[in-house]
Chain A
Amino acid sequence: MKIIVCIKQICQTYAQTGVDAETHYLAPEDQIFRINPYDEAALEIALTLKDKHPDIEIILLILGPVIVEDELKRCLALGADYLYQIEQSASLGSQDKAKFLARALETLAPDLVLCGKESMDRQNGQVACFLAEFLNQPFVSAIETLNMSNDNKTAVVQRSCGRGARQILQSCLPAVFSVDMGAYGFRMPTLKAQARADIQPVHHVTGLSDASTGKSMVTSYISPPCPRTKRTLAPDSDLASFDRIKLLLTGSRMKKKTQILDGSPEFQVTGMISFLKEHGFLTPAQTQKSK
């Protein structure tokens, strides 16, 4: 059985001490390059499976250049078997990344693909679901535990739905799962495994040069409106005490333009699209393209 764990190398910014004068970006000491912790959790799930069934083969797949070699080697030392790299230097959106990964996965033909729930730098959390879409495979998001059936045909996963609720799902394989932090154990490599991993080569996934990099998805960054300044006027004495307190708390007399959508997921999605069109975030041309 073959499990592929998709790994993203991220730049964790854990402190904001200022902006570097030369690069106009975060100060270098604020950055620590590491592997996305959710991807480490995905590897941990794969490794716990491997502890039970030693014939499992774990392949790490990275997209783009090798940035943190030490940490990747550490992943290999923890028990992963191979490291595959898709050579790609352009900066890509989630969908394009998923396209590249899907093409690579078609050639590698795994039984199970594990990804992190989201990356800690961008926090899009989209690659895994796009990947499942392109591979035409079932997808479960944010799983915490994973158990295989004896014949390796189905998997039972548990995911957290927030507020302490748990959801247990059964899925047929091959499938794509994204992994939440629940299974994060502090596995440590042994020195022997580390020495073995240090001399392991990086395999390249070739034959993806025909992949079109044409932008199929347009990302527009919308920053939320600045918070309204709270007017500290004395509340209108005409109002009732309840309204006066409310006025003080909300800061203004204006009503929030919030619209809560309820109903089935399909209805919510159509509602959202109509909202976006209404406010000009989506132009008719873009809508057609994505269709």
Chain B
Amino acid sequence: MSLKYSLKSILHWTIKRPVMTVATLIFHAGFIVIPFFLNAHVILLKTTWGFGWPSLPESVTDALTLLVIICCFIFLIRRLVLRNINDLTGASNYWLLLLAAAPFITGFLAHHHTDNYHFWLVFHILSGEILLVTLLLSIGLFILRYLNKKFNYEKIIFHRFLIAGLMGLCLVITGFYAKGPEWAWPVGSMASLILPRSSPGLQFILNAHFFLVLAGAAVLMPSGFLRHVSASTINIVYWPKRQMGKLGTIAKGKTGFNTIASLSWKQLLDAEACVSCGKCIENCPAVIAGKPLYPEKILQKIFGQIKQGNGKNTEGLNTIISNDEIWSCTTCMACVHHCPVYTDPVDKIIDLRRHQTMCENALPKEVRPMIRNLELFGDTHGKGPAHRTDWIQDNEVAVLSRDHFQTDVLLWVGCSGAFNPRYTTVYRSMVRILIHAGVEFAVLGKKERCCGDQARRLGQETVFNSLAKNNIHEIKKYTFKKIVTLCPHCFHSLKHEYPDLGGQFDVMHASELVQSLIKENKITPRYPRKSLLTIHDPCYLGRVNKIVEPIRKISRAIDGIEIKELEHRRENGFCCGAGGGQMWLHDSIGRHINHIRAEQIVDSGADMVVTACPYCLTMLDDGINAAEPKKPVEAVDIIEMVASSIG
């Protein structure tokens, strides 16, 4: 751990978000200092082991304890009050907070002899021991996971309870030996009836076990993985500020990074916060398909560079992170979603790609024609803007122009909608729905260009910038209420990435619009469709933008549809294998990701899979054909399904 970078990082956050940073730091400092240097603890140590160390004056520890309790209250209030943090708070977060705060509160109350000294003291010992055991438990689980990567403790709950039970039993027994049968130890006093009296030596060790555990934790704290105690905490605090999947813009003339010297504060902190717990590895589609990418290893390799030096004399990251790793990522954000400390390996991968593409000239050969098409024609298919309105076929769609500049809904077509023959039919279905519902809508027509998502995720920032600026310039000429698109990639770019370039638009996904139209009774699915249906959530819709309900609500609105959910669903969806430019990259190592997903769908026994993304549709079609199911499985877009049922 480079001290310089750590200090810089802490300083940076102190300036940016002073209250939370200071509170976090005080809390953690108090957490370590108070148990060790409290006068009472030191006296206890001296009486049991005969030695001790100088303790802090009582006024200082008192004040510090009060501060820690106040900090805990700040955390609690923050969780309760701030909306975006409240959304991701579960019961476990409150339990953890209570667990951490209880020893301090009870100790404080006991120390000041408020009312019932004995009660608070016993409560204090109990809560302290529970906290320490929880610490030990998590370390034990961590070691187990580390030894066996396939050890999935979420599934094998039994193991978790077994270990917890064993730890608890140890605590009760040692507590009994240390304190004797007291009324506060009901289990211990019962155990004392069975257990024989221990030898004085054992009793001595058991008496001091509290300090042994404490000392062990203290030794482990700064070295090794427990560095995350500080880094991860700060990382968790700042996570809600970031929109998942949103890439940062880069300064003019910069090209991603190759050495850690050009990493941002957040990226350095991410690397330090990673405890290599392996949750990302369990969920990464590239790993499951046997590709050489391990999201956690990207962070660990960057952290290795941070440990080596100050970033100036270290060799380039491309020597330790291979090209195969970088170009295997589908940017599906599964690793980001599953990271317990909210690190983001994807933005590092993208920055490494940016360096490869814009500085090393190492963009894979197979995507270069696509990038050239974007440069020359402004679309991924190389057909050119003159063919952008060919999908309309007859003249039922209004095209925005100088004379017709006002509309309610601007339908964003995108490259797939305009040129992919399969997806043009979906867009025509959308047009039917909109006409049926009487929504006033129009398209940009030949003025539209690719949203640039694919270029950006492949590291071609200059192409993305020119396309995005062109689009923003065109969109701003017209007045409309909202942009509606069917492609989650376009949706994500327009909603989250265009504001950085000066394009603030109200963007809506088509499934949301159709759901609201059904809710307002503007369209009613009349014709029932009898089928067992399963849902594939596109990553950029479900996981990144949390739009999962509309697809389900629409499906339920159609009579005869029965939904069978997959194991990987909603925010935990499994990538189709086409994101992040993988649509145009050769997939030569390991299995195809879409084949894995198609097998999951075929195994579910459904006869129809519904999705809401052009890439997913193509990939699932291919995957299902490759899986050769006995019962035919149809891949359809949610919009198509609605259009066929409204007649």
A: residues with CB less than 8 A from B are: 14-15, 17, 27, 29-30, 32, 34, 186-192, 194-195
Contacts and interface: CB of A to CB of B under 8 A. Distances in A.
Contact of B377 (A32, A187, A188, A194): A32
Given A17-B386, A27-B386, A188 B371 contact: yes
Contact of A29 (B255, B363, B386): B386
B162 interface: no
Contact of B376 (A32, A187, A192): A32
Nearest to B367: A186
B455 to A, nearest CB: 12
A29 B445 CA distance: 11
Contacts of B446: 29
B309 interface: no
A195 B359 CA distance: 12
Nearest to B366: A186
A30 B358 contact: no
A190 B360 CA distance: 7
Given A15-B384, A32-B377, 5 more contacts: A29-B386, A32-B376, A186-B368, A188-B363, A192-B359
Interface string B372-398: 100011000000111100000000000
B361 A190 contact: yes
Nearest to A14: B384
Nearest to B250: A191
Contact of B359 (A17, A29, A32, A190): A190
A188 B368 contact: yes
B216 interface: no
Nearest to A30: B386
17 contacts: A14-B377, A14-B384, A14-B386, A15-B387, A29-B384, A29-B385, A29-B446, A30-B386, A32-B376, A186-B365, A186-B371, A187-B361, A188-B371, A190-B360, A191-B359, A191-B462, A192-B359
Given A15-B387, A32-B384, A34-B376, A186 B369 contact: yes
B386 A15 contact: yes
A53 B358 CA distance: 24
Contacts of A14: 377, 384, 386
Given A191-B358, A195-B253, A186 B372 contact: yes
A17 B392 CA distance: 14
A61 B360 CA distance: 28
A27 B386 CA distance: 9
A191 B255 contact: yes
A69 to B, nearest CB: 14
Contacts of B385: 29
Interface string B505-548: 00000000000000000000000000000000000000000000
A29 B384 CA distance: 9
Contacts of A32: 376-377, 384
Contacts of A190: 255, 358-361
Contacts of B376: 32, 34
Interface in B134-164: none
B467 to A, nearest CB: 14
Contacts of B363: 188
Contacts of B361: 187-190
Contacts of B371: 186, 188
Contacts of B387: 15
A195 B377 CA distance: 23
Nearest to B388: A29
B353 to A, nearest CB: 13
A189 B360 CA distance: 9
Contacts of B253: 191, 195
Nearest to B354: A191
Contacts of B369: 186
A32 B255 CA distance: 29
A237 to B, nearest CB: 47
Nearest to A78: B361
Contacts of A29: 384-386, 446
A25 to B, nearest CB: 14
Interface in B155-197: none
Interface in B411-469: 446, 462
A30 B385 CA distance: 8
Nearest to A18: B386
A24 to B, nearest CB: 18
A194 B460 CA distance: 13
A194 B386 contact: no
B388 to A, nearest CB: 8
A190 B363 CA distance: 10
Nearest to A192: B359
A192 B359 CA distance: 7
Interface string B347-361: 000000000011111
A190 B446 CA distance: 30
Query: A-B pairs with the 3 shortest C-beta distances?
Result: A186-B368, A15-B386, A191-B358
B628 to A, nearest CB: 35
B361 to A, nearest CB: 5
Contacts of A17: 386
Contacts of A27: 386
A11 to B, nearest CB: 13
The listed residue with most B CB atoms (<10 A of its CB), out of A27, A30, A34, A186, is A186
A149 B159 CA distance: 73
Contacts of A30: 384, 386
Interface in B597-620: none
A15 B385 CA distance: 9
The listed residue with most B CB atoms (<10 A of its CB), out of A15, A32, A187, A191, is A191
Interface in B106-142: none
A118 to B, nearest CB: 19
Nearest to B445: A29
Contacts of A192: 255, 359
Contacts of B386: 14-15, 17, 27, 29-30
Contacts of A187: 361
The listed residue with most B CB atoms (<10 A of its CB), out of A188, A192, A194, is A188
A34 B387 CA distance: 18
Nearest to B387: A15
The listed residue with most A CB atoms (<10 A of its CB), out of B363, B376, B377, B384, is B384
B390 to A, nearest CB: 9
Contacts of B368: 186, 188
Contacts of B358: 190-191
Nearest to A16: B386
Nearest to B253: A195
Contact of B462 (A15, A34, A186, A194): A194
A188 B626 CA distance: 35
A36 to B, nearest CB: 13
B350 to A, nearest CB: 15
A34 B255 CA distance: 26
A190 to B, nearest CB: 5
Contacts of A194: 462
A186 B376 CA distance: 13
A156 B372 CA distance: 31
Contacts of A186: 365, 368-369, 371-372
Nearest to B371: A188
B250 to A, nearest CB: 10
A192 B255 CA distance: 9
A192 B384 CA distance: 29
Nearest to A27: B386
A34 B357 CA distance: 23
Nearest to B385: A29
A287 B360 CA distance: 57
A188 B372 CA distance: 9
A141 B368 CA distance: 28
Nearest to A13: B386
Contacts of B255: 190-192
Interface in B300-348: none
A27 B388 CA distance: 14
Nearest to B447: A29
Contacts of B360: 190
A120 B361 CA distance: 28
Nearest to B363: A188
